[in-house]
Structure 1
Amino acid sequence: MSLVNSIIPHRLSEAVAADGVSIAYEDIGYGDPLMLLHGLTESRESWHEAGYVEQFLQRERRLILVDCRGHGRSGKPHDPAAYSGRRRAADIIAVLDHAGIRRAALMGHSMGGVIALATAAHHPDRVVALIVNGAHPFAEDLTPLRAALEDNFEAWLAFVKQLAPDISPDSCRRIRGNDLAAVQASLARDRPDFSAAFAELGIPVLAISGTLDPRCDAARKFAELANGEFLPLEGKNHVTAFLDVETIGPVVDEFLGRVGTRNNGRGG
């Protein structure tokens, strides 16, 4: 029996960001808050499907699963300016405020990892710890992603299937269900370098990357810069590194337990 369908508290909610964009999120469980931020063209459902939700709920964590702007049930602006790091960070603060959470640990994959990093850079007082998989705060040229999404999601799906041939039908459905103009707007501007913010920030960091991910060296460099920890996943690429919940879950749980997240949740 799924823990989500048992007596554990579970609600769907919607916050409103500073610029009026609605941000949908799922609030499950009780305990130390951990926010989960998905990757490009995915939604909060990906955390359920991969098995993270079930595993973290067993550790008595309160999970906040966000549909990042432009995705899922959240608002989907078509203006590239709506996808700046500052605005995306403000989305996270809006969700935390709406959920009554003062500080939380943030865990993100790919785009979600970059959003987690932006939130820590702009609002360090709201972030207990950072876990980022396949993400870093250095400059990144998004031209290849823009090219893959130039006309529709089929070329993007073909790219994803090269990395994960066994991608689920549900994941394919979520990808095809996106608003193309919104996703294109989110990729219209290359990612700037904001790594300097982490040199003395002092937030505990766990950086994760598959060794076959082109971002692996940058993720390792980020961990060193932030005086954090680095988990390389041997033989995994950008997609399969997210799916390796059996390896990642226990490491994240041990990391959060060690850095201490007690009394950083509701009202504290």
Structure 2
Amino acid sequence: MSPVNTLNPHRLSEAVAEDGVPIAYEDLGHGEPLVLLHGVTESRESWHEAGYVEQFLRRGWRLILIDCRGHGRSGKPHDPAAYSGRRQAADVAAVLDFAGIQRAALMGHSMGGTVALATAAYHPDRVNALIVNGAHPFAEDLSRLRAALADDFETWLAFLKQLVPDLSPNSCRRIRANDLAAVQASLASDRPDFSMALAKLDIPALAITGLLDPRWEGVRNFAELASGEFLPLAGKNHVTAFLDAETIVPAVDEFLRRVGARTTEGS
């Protein structure tokens, strides 16, 4: 594997979604492709900062890090209809097309996990494994998130700092740099239940959650629904379960190799 400067935040390519929204992504390393999808108000840079990129590259994975629409360097529509599960799943498919990848493993945290699940539901032929952390396909009321982001990002940051008192300055910078109207549009609708679409699929799944995360039971229930595997992280909440790359990367690497997440690159 050739050396890659994973600290450079500007090694970007751009796909164009089916509705014309530009979707920024990084394509790093060589080997089997693994798509990484970040949480709400974050960007692909969060995977770099938490240590996932370096560790996965060292294990020989080709990483596709996507800035989800409304975030990072991707387009930021203000229309709530632009953030449906179908639209966001199509974004992932568009990136795979632009990168010349037919099938990939998908890994997402929180919102990114929901996008990964939607991609499996709408484009199952593009997904050969699913890893979700702090996400599930069941109905979810997002009114608490909408309230925290009603005026600016400061209430949201205060909430996050209750979970991670030493939230990094870089994370705070990324969050404050968001387009507030775009983030609000992405959360305007509660998440529907699309679990039955996933129950019919034969895609290996690994569901990860911190046991202090209020979503943990939903994550466990998804693992059971998908006949998948469940990795509970004791003493971790919704955010610290993402930050625990030292535990998660080896577990994900072992899972993907064991289930044979192999793909054919190219169209």
Structure 1-normalised TM-score?
A: 0.96
| Partner of residue 100, structure 2 | 100
Residue 130 of structure 2 corresponds to: 130
Write out per-residue CA displacement over residues 241-268 of structure 1, whole angstroms, 9 at most, x where no aligned residue: 0000111011000000011123x14227
Alpha-carbon distance in 1 for matches of 2:81, 2:163 = 30
Describe the superposition over 1:43-73 as per-residue Cα deviations: whole angstroms up to 9, x where unpaired.
0000000000000001111000000000000
Residue equivalent to 1:26: 26
1-side partners of 2:221 and 2:261: how far apart?
A: 25
2:167: which partner in 1? 167
- Deviation of the 1:87 alpha carbon: 0.2
Determine the structure 2 residue equivalent to 1:202: 202
Partner of 2:147: 147
Aligned counterparts of 2:66 and 2:152: Cα–Cα separation in 1: 24
What are the residue-to-residue correspondences of 1:1-268 with 2, within 5 Å?
Answer: 3-5=3-5, 11-262=11-262, 264-267=263-266
Question: Counterpart of 1:41 in structure 2: which amino acid?
Answer: T
Is this contact kept in 2: 1:40–1:111, CA < 8 A?
yes
Q: Which runs of 5+ in 2 are unaligned?
A: none
For the Cα contact (< 8 Å) 1:35–1:106, is it kept in 2?
Answer: yes
RMSD: 1.3
Instruction: Give the drift of 1:182.
Output: 0.1
Matched residue type, 2:135: A
Query: 26-35 or 195-204: which moved more?
Result: 195-204
The superposition leaves residues 22-52 of structure 1 with CA deviations (integer Å, 9 ceiling, x where unpaired) of 0000000010000000000000000000000
In 2, distance between residues paired with 1:59 and 1:261? Answer: 14
How far apart, CA to CA, are the structure 2 residues paired with 1:195 and 1:66? 24
Deviation at 1:233, TM superposition (A): 0.3
Structure 1: stretches of 5+ with no match in the other structure: none
Tell me the secondary structure at the aligned position of residue 108 of structure 1. strand
Q: Distance in 2 between matches of 1:266 and 1:217?
A: 36
SS in 2 for 1:135: coil
Query: Which runs of 4 or more aligned residues in structure 1 lie more than 6 Å from their structure 2 counterparts after TM superposition?
Result: none
SS at match of 1:5: coil
Looking at structure 2, the residues matched to 113 and 26 of structure 1 have their Cα atoms a distance apart, in angstroms, of: 18
3-state SS of paired residue (1:166) = coil
Amino acid at match of 2:88: R
Cα distance in structure 1, aligned partners of 2:29 and 2:12: 12
2:50 and 2:177 map into 1 onto residues whose CA distance is: 19
The one-letter amino acid of 1:159's match is F
1:3 deviation in Å?
4.8
Give the CA deviation at 1:200: 2.2
Shift of the alpha carbon at 1:166?
1.0
Is the Cα contact below 8 Å between 1:4 and 1:54 reproduced in 2?
no
SS of residue in 1 equivalent to 2:12: strand
Q: Deviations over 1:197-234 (max 9, x none)?
A: 12220100000000000000000000000000000000
1:3 and 1:57 in contact (8 A); partners too: no
